[in-house]
Structure 1
Amino acid sequence: MTTGVDGEDPEAVPAEGGVRLIGGRYELAERLGEGGMGTVWAGLDLLVDREVAVKEAYVTDRQPRVERVLREARAAARVNHPAVVTIHDVVMEDGHPWIVMERVHGESLATLLERETILPEREAARIALSVVEALAAAHDRGVLHRDVKPGNVLLGTDGRVVLTDFGIAYIEGEESLTRAGEFVGSLAYTAPERMGGRKPGPAADLWSLGVLLFQMVEGWSPFQRESVEGTVAAVLTTEAPTPRRAVGLGPVIGELLSKEPEDRPTAERVAAALRTAATAPEETTEPGKPDRPRLGRRRVWLAVVVATALLALVPLGIVALRDDNDTSADGGSSRRSARPTATSTPSPTPTPAPLPTAATGYELVRTGEFSVQVPTGSTRHDKNADGQYRYTHEDGYELIVVPGRDRAETSSDNPVDYMREYEPELQPFRDSAWATSTGIRLIETRSRTFAEGQFTWETADARAVYVRNMALLVDGRYHVVAVLGPEDQRETVSRIYEQVVITYEPDE
């Protein structure tokens, strides 16, 4: 096994049968992924019988490397958001740290792009929306991710999108671990201000998101070149090409890839534009290979000369994190070839439009108390005595919406406590003799505070029901959204839930 520690393979404490045991409770299984910063293993927390992913961090005798690993855990643990990987524990074993985190079943965005090359705009917007919300939550907590790229975005089989690997994150108020003249990051996704040695802010992460969006819809990375010098030159001197396949996302991509940080949109504006694109009617695009405009030889040579001159004037010790073998909480790799691109001027981003017509497979409903998109063909039931609007589908799925029925002052002003102790829609979970929960999370964004949970219980007629649930606190009242379905149809339930959540709007 490769460990990066002087070529030696440290031995964890063996359990019975030769199984490796970390920290006396985490049993390691197969290797999920490996990269420049560490190896990720599938694991089992024997104490609570929970699947986990365990990152064996590569360290040397240099203390700053150990501190960087611990900072990674602190940075991720500081951000409480469903689109940010959850850190459970940090264990010191064999003289170096192991990070224990949630196990996300699925694949990385890098793996998906390697297989599909191009994603539909709606799917790209859905993925990017989760990423920008995760970044906004991190920025609110004083954390800059600094390594947003396909290999660090996980796509769960239940439709969840998770930003992972805070290995080079910066935490506000903490001393920098990067030495003067040293650069750490993935060059093709790094903002110009970081590449040029300026102090980055949240806008640097949004630049990386712009590169990510471009690659998802166009099928190639706009600044990746065959050499380090070429990539640096492209980031510093080449204007972002105009997307040719993106109908709705082109303007926001153009603004995100503005060279100057102050010209980029805020996370809120990006999220609004992505939410609109994620719920827009599906556009049909002609199949074919991705368009890759190319620079002439003279322009490429000029860019390399400019970059080389900049590198000579400002000594830059570049530690480029490898993009061909990224580590994630569930494995995944990304392999890219150079794609020289043409120069163009980004288009301005218009003000996001109001909620559009419903996405394919959904219809928009308005009740006077809320608006939301529900699966096409659902049967609407009148508001009942419990304040519930119910939408049932012949395939066995059900949506329950309860707008503003319960006051925080008569239950709890903490959405997690409300969901756990008071919410009537979860009473079957509390009463069931057989029930499980994957946990309740408190989610705080700039515009919303809500709790989110996943539950399974057995009904009186022995049916296993799976539920995704949200309790949103608005002006002192709780809005509840719950999607129910057969336990063996978790992926469909989750897909419906995600669409409902991103389109739910209480009426003022």
Structure 2
Amino acid sequence: MVVGEDPETSAMAGQWLVGGRYRLTERLGAGGMGAVWAGRDTLVDREVAVKEAHATEGGPGVERILREARAAARVDHPAVVTVHDVVVEDGHPWIVMERVHGESLAARLERDGALPEREAARIGLEVAQALAAAHARGVLHRDVKPGNVLLGSGGRVVLTDFGIAYIAGEEALTRSGEFVGSLAYTAPERMGGQRPEPASDLWSLGVLLYEMVEGGSPFRRGSMEGTVGAVLTAEVPPLRRAVALAPVITALLAKDPTARPTTRTVTEMLRDVATATVPVRPSSAARSRRRVWWAAALFGAAALAVVTPPAVDRFGDGPASGPSPSASPAPRTSPKPSPTATSGYERVREAEFELEVPAGWRHHGENAHAQYIYTSGEYELIVVPGRDAVADYTDDLMTYQREMEMELQPYRDTEWGTASGLRTLEVDGHTSAEGQFTWQHGEVLQRYVRNRVMNIDGRIHVLVASGPEAERDAVSRLYDHVVKTYTPRS
């Protein structure tokens, strides 16, 4: 058979034998390095997957696919694809592997979007255990990404494609200065030319977890240069859906590889989330670790709750519509509604300000970035009472809002966004700037944001109300009420 000839268009379709025993039936997928075929081992009557490499004898592709087979064969673990055989036919290499019925994690994310935290933790746990087994055998995967994680029947998770793996004791396949891997999932130290270590695979696992829970890649940009720059220098975008998984994701995405947790620690943390039988609140130890890890992440809103409270009117307009969602314990006791609060709201008195928020919302207190956060389901309110001094930035609050405000960084980092209604105004003797922002990922409009920054006695106060783009009116009602009731306290 000629290298590259397609059995599907050949007269031998369904009859083509590789190595005299592996009958190919259909192509399951293809990429730049080769293709994967469904087949059957005619000797033992077993289903197999057969991976061909677009390479010829003596070329670098042959050694790469042979190394893939050796790397996977070294690791005996249920979550690592099993290699049955390697065939070199007419100088053309083929790997014969177990057939995993199911789909890739990439395909599932493309179809379903973000996954529930417990499911993401379960998948991440299996990948972490596979990596632990590989690292114990001196194998670094170096290409952990959704396309290389297979979701099989019965909930099985399989890490596959060890094509660019590093094997301890073997000569590197790549020359000095040459890079292989998937940029958006590659650890910053690898891009910087450092020797890969287990921590580099764990970074990739952190990106994988982020994408599963948040529904998008944290570092992928529209160009190769942009992606590399984001991995090397950009802070982790805010975690808006992650609650129980926030500490492990934030820790894994530390730029410094020595600051990342060990595989054993990651495994324990993921197991806690994956096996929880009730909505998981981070332990006190995890909350303590989170405070440390937050210091390394710009607006790492890791503690945000996205669990909807009991059916209450979120915006003071009557009973909530739709089925009653289940409640999760609040991180701390919510302040009791003030007798003077507007119906459906409660008066919140913090050390630096007071305002009214919808009754029943979760109160998260002040985080490491001087943000007070209140949430209900997909709705969120962020209050920043004078964190930044006007003199340290610019007298033009519109410029601060557009270019410097930390709370709008996700908008600036998104693939596409719009801003409208931008204006400056004078209210109660102080200057303000406000605007409306819409975040979009791909073709899907996701978030609608109302934002105001205010110069109050030389400090910048920030109010951010956000929610589903399809529910702009509800977000606007929340924003208008918060703006009307916000009062700094001296």
Of residues 204, 207, 220 in structure 1, which corresponds to 2:203?
207
1:86 aligns with 2:203: no
1:247 is matched with: 243
Distance 1:166 1:93 in 2: 21
* In structure 2, C-alpha distance between the alignment counterparts of 1:236 and 1:225, rounded to whole Å: 13
Corresponding position: 1:75 with 2:192? no
Q: How far off is 1:77 after superposition? A: 0.2
**Contact in 1 for aligned 2:57/2:91 (Cα 8 Å):** no
Matched, 1:293 2:410: yes
Query: What is the aligned counterpart of 1:280 among 276, 290, 305?
Result: 276
Change (3 A) 1:72 1:201: same
- Consecutive unaligned residues of structure 1, counting only runs of 5 or more, are 298-334, 340-508
Residue 49 of structure 1 corresponds to which residue in structure 2? 45
Q: Summarize the Cα distance change of 1:60–1:289 in structure 2 as closer, same or farther, 3 Å threshold.
A: farther
Instruction: Measure, in 2, the Cα distance between the counterparts of 1:192 and 1:227.
Output: 17
Does the 8 A contact of 1:147 with 1:168 survive in 2? yes
Q: Give me the whole-angstrom Cα distance separating, in 2, the residues matched to 1:109 and 1:28.
A: 24
**Alignment partner, residue 315 of structure 1:** none
CA gap of 1:10–1:117, structure 2 versus 1, over 3 A, is: closer
List alignment gaps of at least 5 residues for structure 2.
Answer: 280-305, 309-376, 381-407, 415-440, 446-490
Deviation, 1:141, is 0.2
* Cα shift at 1:17: 7.9
Match of 2:183 among 184, 187, 195: 187
Percent same amino acid at aligned positions?
Answer: 68
Alignment of 1:103-142 (within 5 A): 103-142=99-138
Secondary structure class of the residue paired with 1:158: helix
Amino acid at match of 2:80: V
Counterpart residue identity of residue 126, structure 2: S
Looking at structure 1, the residues matched to 111 and 13 of structure 2 have their Cα atoms a distance apart, in angstroms, of 38
TM-score by length of 2: 0.57
Instruction: Please list, as runs of the form range in 1=range in 2, the aligned pairs for 1:137-156 lying within 5 A after superposition.
Output: 137-156=133-152
Alignment of 1:54-453 (within 5 A): 54-60=50-56, 63-283=59-279, 285=307, 293-295=410-412
Note if 1:21 corresponds to 2:17: yes
Distance (whole Å) between structure 1 residues aligned to residue 204 and residue 123 of structure 2: 14
Q: What is the Cα deviation at residue 243 of structure 1?
A: 1.3
Given residue 75 of structure 1, which amino acid in structure 2 is its aligned partner?
A
What's the secondary structure of 2:172's corresponding residue?
coil
2:7, 2:13 within 8 Å by CA — same for their partners in 1? no
Q: Deviations over 1:155-193 (max 9, x none)?
A: 002110000000000000000010122100000000000
SS in 2 for 1:92: strand
Q: When the two structures are aligned, how many residues end up with a matched partner?
A: 299
- Code of the aligned partner of 2:167: I
Q: Which SS does the other structure have where 1:294 is aligned?
A: helix
The code of the aligned residue for 1:131 comes to V
Aligned to 1:37: 33
Q: CA deviation at 1:214?
A: 0.3
Report the structure number with the largest CA radius of gyration: 2
1:271-329: per-residue Cα shift (whole Å, max 9, x none)? 000000001235474676999923279xxxxxxxxxxxxxxxxxxxxxxxxxxxxxxxx
**Are the aligned partners of 1:220 and 1:292 in contact in 2 as well (CA < 8 Å)?**
no
Aligned residue identity for 1:157: S
Report the TM-score when normalising by structure 1.
Answer: 0.55
CA–CA separation in structure 1 for the residues paired with 2:14 and 2:113: 41
Q: Secondary structure in 2 aligned to 1:184?
A: coil
- Residues in 2 aligned to 1:231 and 1:338: alpha-carbon distance in whole angstroms: 21
Kept in 2, the 8 Å contact 1:52–1:101? The answer is yes
Structure 1 residues 175 and 10, CA gap change in structure 2 (3 angstroms): farther
What's the secondary structure of 1:197's corresponding residue? Answer: coil
What is the distance in 2 between the residues matched to 1:130 and 1:239?
27
| Contact 1:81 1:137 (C-alpha < 8 Å) held by counterparts | yes
